[in-house]
Structure 1
Amino acid sequence: MTTTEFIVILGGAALGYWLVAVVWPLWRDRGDAPPGPALFEADPPWHEVLDVAEDADRNTIDAAHRAKRAEHLPERVAHLSADVRNQAQRRIMQIDRAYAAAMRELGFGRRDGSGER
C-alpha cells in the first residue's frame, strides 16, 4: 500500500464520518413537523359533545344532535371570516362523529329502517 492510497483511505473515512455525524441528522430532521399543537386531537366522549347523559335514550340523543347541528351550522357564520367558517365546519364534523359513536356504542341502527334495530 502506498502513501497516497493510505491518505485517500483516511480522507474517505473522515468524510464518511462527517457525513454520518453532521450532515445526516440535519437532513433527516428537515421533514419533521414543527413543534406545536398536535394536528389531530382525540374527540371528547360523545355524551360530552352532545351534552347528554351517558345513558341517554335514542330520542334524547337524536334531539341533542339536531340541536347541536343547528347551533353550529356553517351557514350561520357565512358572513364571517374563513377561520370562523372552518371552525364551524370542524365543530359540525365533531358533532356528527359523536352522534355516530353514540349509535355504535349503544347499538342503535339507522332511523330509516335499514339498520339493525
Structure 2
Amino acid sequence: MTSTEFIVIVGGLVLGYWLVSVVWPLLRDRGEPAPGPALFDPDPPWHQVLGTHADADRSTVDAAYRAKRDEYSPERLAALGRDARRQAQLRIIQIDRAYAAAMRELGLGRGDGGDDADR
C-alpha cells in the first residue's frame, strides 16, 4: 500500500465520519413534530372528553359519543389542511378511548346488551 492510498483511505474515513455525525442529523431533523398531545400523556377523564357527567347512564354516554364522533368525522373535515385532519384523527382516538373507559367504568360492553359472558 502506497502512502497515497493510505491518505485516500484515511481521508474517506474522516469524510464519512463527518457526513454521518454532522450532516445526517441536520437532514433528519428537518420535519416538524406532529401536532397534538404527546403519545404517552395520561388520558383526561372520560366524562370530560365526552362532555357528560361522571354518573351518566348508558344512553347519555352513547348519545354523547355519537355526537362527538360526528363532530370530528373525517368526511366533515376533508376540506381542511393536513394538520387539522391530523388533530381531528387524534381527537377521534381520544373520544374512542374515553368511550371505552366509560363502558369499563359503567360495567358495560360495547354491545347493546351490556352482558359480557367472557369476563
Task: Report SS of the residue matched to 1:76.
Answer: coil
Superposition TM-score, scaled by structure 1 size: 0.62
> Which one has a bigger Cα radius of gyration?
1
**Aligned residue for 2:50?**
50
Shift of 1:53: 0.5
Aligned length: 83
- In the superposition, relative to structure 1, how do residues 88 and 97 fare at CA in structure 2: closer, same or farther (>3 Å)? same
Cα pair 2:72 2:88 within 8 Å, conserved: yes
Cα pair 1:108 1:116 within 8 Å, conserved: yes
Shift of 1:65: 0.1
Cα pair 1:110 1:116 within 8 Å, conserved: no
Misfit runs of 4+, over 3 Å = 112-115
For the residues of structure 2 that align with 1:90 and 1:96, how far apart are their CA atoms? 10
Cα pair 1:49 1:95 within 8 Å, conserved: yes
For the residues of structure 1 that align with 2:53 and 2:74, how far apart are their CA atoms? 26
**Aligned residue for 1:96?**
96
**Aligned residue for 2:63?**
63
Task: Report SS of the residue matched to 1:53.
Answer: coil
Within 5 Å, give how 1:80-91 maps onto structure 2: 80-91=80-91
Runs of 5+ consecutive residues of structure 2 not aligned to the other structure: 1-24, 26-36
For the residues of structure 1 that align with 2:114 and 2:49, how far apart are their CA atoms? 26
Task: Report SS of the residue matched to 2:92.
Answer: helix
Shift of 1:109: 1.9
For the residues of structure 2 that align with 1:97 and 1:109, how far apart are their CA atoms? 13
- In the superposition, relative to structure 1, how do residues 110 and 38 fare at CA in structure 2: closer, same or farther (>3 Å)? closer
Superposition TM-score, scaled by structure 2 size: 0.62
Shift of 1:81: 1.0
**Aligned residue for 1:109?**
109
Runs of 5+ consecutive residues of structure 1 not aligned to the other structure: 1-29, 31-36
